Structure 1
């Protein structure tokens, strides 16, 4: 079993991001989903360990306003595209040159945006994401902002119940999260031509939360669509997720 470490890295604006690391070898920068964390998305269910066992180093930041990272309450700490800016700052600060990039849900949106803005990983994984989801953030963000605003009155049966329950489980800082939700950029489908590296669009077979994964794979220059069992929430718990990452990132062709 590899030893897990954690360090704090200053981002472009000085905000400290917690970066969890596991394994040794080719770095894989892994960006988790909304209201989640490196621990919940990548470590708890063994995905990072599978990568470490296969000869990779899992480099797993907690996104701004999540996990052990900074959760500022000032609006100017959340400029447009802040998460993609954080990703680029981490690549530079950690000296990542020959690396892979993996995202899930919000992490996929961030990864796609960061590549369009200039990051050049060897391989890219967009998990829990479909074509419509990349360009439909305003509607998605509005749903979560409403869940935050009605946090104390949401009851079972309400469409926001699962989101509120997960926020409670993860002890989300709602002030920081609300600010972050307003700082995520949409990605126009025409911009996808800039994502030229080999890409895996990895999605649960019952996950359509962010639109069609198959259509996203078709829209990318060099992508394959891979299905694993599960919904948007449950697919993260499936061992098949880690297996798919190892298979794709370990491929030489």
Structure 2
């Protein structure tokens, strides 16, 4: 059952908790991607179910502007730094001392920011990102034009939607999203360069083999001390739903907790 808490700026945000069986001391916190929500990004593809079956307590946040959280239409209410503060506030709200954190796409950027600042993040998994983090500190600007995404979300004439915006428009409709709020997210000031050298958490990078937003993930892995890289089938919208994604996530977090692993997790070349 979703629960709410108050973010540092007074916004009401929604999160859901699924209790594990006590095998693992650290809960897994999930942060979804842009235009999705916890249900679409984590529940429907079976990620939550896989983690809970493995014994983890799972906590999934609906980011501001998404899902059941409040959705202001002012770009000043958004940005990865603000969303990172929301995650930290959630840790505080729940009294969490140690967490495993996983983020996808927008959620990966937010999760990386949190992990560089908050030592409570002991293990981190990010998907849907690659060299864009290294070169731009966030979404790969060579692939995504934020203004075009906002324009495509708001367009009344489908024929005028830029091709890059179409997958996000379809995703927003699937999630029943507030497109004006999502456009505001895209108009927010993006985060600048990220200090990956500040990241001390054990880190896994999950990249779809044909994900246009996660190109050259080995460059991202090389920038994070001890990071591991696993490639899974699929493009940006498909990779998170592939069974290999959830399997690698479960295996990595279980390894961080017990030292046992099944999947071949390799260092970047």
Q: TM-score, normalised by structure 2?
A: 0.84
Cα distance in 2 for residues equivalent to 1:121 and 1:168:
33
Aligned to 2:11: 15
Alignment of 1:181-220 (within 5 A): 181-183=186-188, 185-188=190-193, 191-220=195-224
Secondary structure, in 3 states, of the residue corresponding to 1:102? strand
1:244 and 2:255 correspond: no
Q: TM-score, normalised by structure 1?
A: 0.89
Contact kept? 1:88, 1:119, Cα under 8 Å: no
Cα distance change on mapping 1:79 and 1:164 into 2, 3 Å: closer
Secondary structure, in 3 states, of the residue corresponding to 1:49? helix
Alignment of 1:61-140 (within 5 A): 61-78=61-78, 81-133=81-133, 135=136, 137=139, 139=141, 140=144
Secondary structure, in 3 states, of the residue corresponding to 2:121? coil
Q: What's the CA shift for 1:59?
A: 0.3
Cα distance in 2 for residues equivalent to 1:114 and 1:14:
20
Alignment of 1:47-66 (within 5 A): 47-66=47-66
Contact kept? 1:23, 1:53, Cα under 8 Å: no
Report Cα offsets for 1:3-39 as digits up to 9, x if no partner: xx32111111121111111122431110000000100
Q: What's the CA shift for 1:232?
A: 0.7
CA-based RMSD: 2.1
Cα distance in 2 for residues equivalent to 1:169 and 1:238:
18
Cα distance in 1 for residues equivalent to 2:161 and 2:70:
33
Residue in structure 2 matching 1:168, options 173, 191, 196:
173
Contact kept? 1:203, 1:227, Cα under 8 Å: yes
Q: What's the CA shift for 1:52?
A: 0.8
Is there any run of 5+ residues in structure 2 with no aligned partner, and where? 260-269
Cα distance change on mapping 1:137 and 1:54 into 2, 3 Å: closer
Report Cα offsets for 1:54-82 as digits up to 9, x if no partner: 11111001110001111123454336721
Of residues 201-210 and 56-65 in structure 1, the stretch that sits farther from structure 2 once superposed is 201-210
Q: What's the CA shift for 1:157?
A: 8.6
Cα distance change on mapping 1:137 and 1:234 into 2, 3 Å: closer
Cα distance change on mapping 1:187 and 1:127 into 2, 3 Å: farther
Aligned to 2:264: none
Cα distance in 2 for residues equivalent to 1:128 and 1:80:
15
Contact kept? 2:232, 2:244, Cα under 8 Å: yes
Contact kept? 2:150, 2:184, Cα under 8 Å: no
Is there any run of 5+ residues in structure 1 with no aligned partner, and where? none
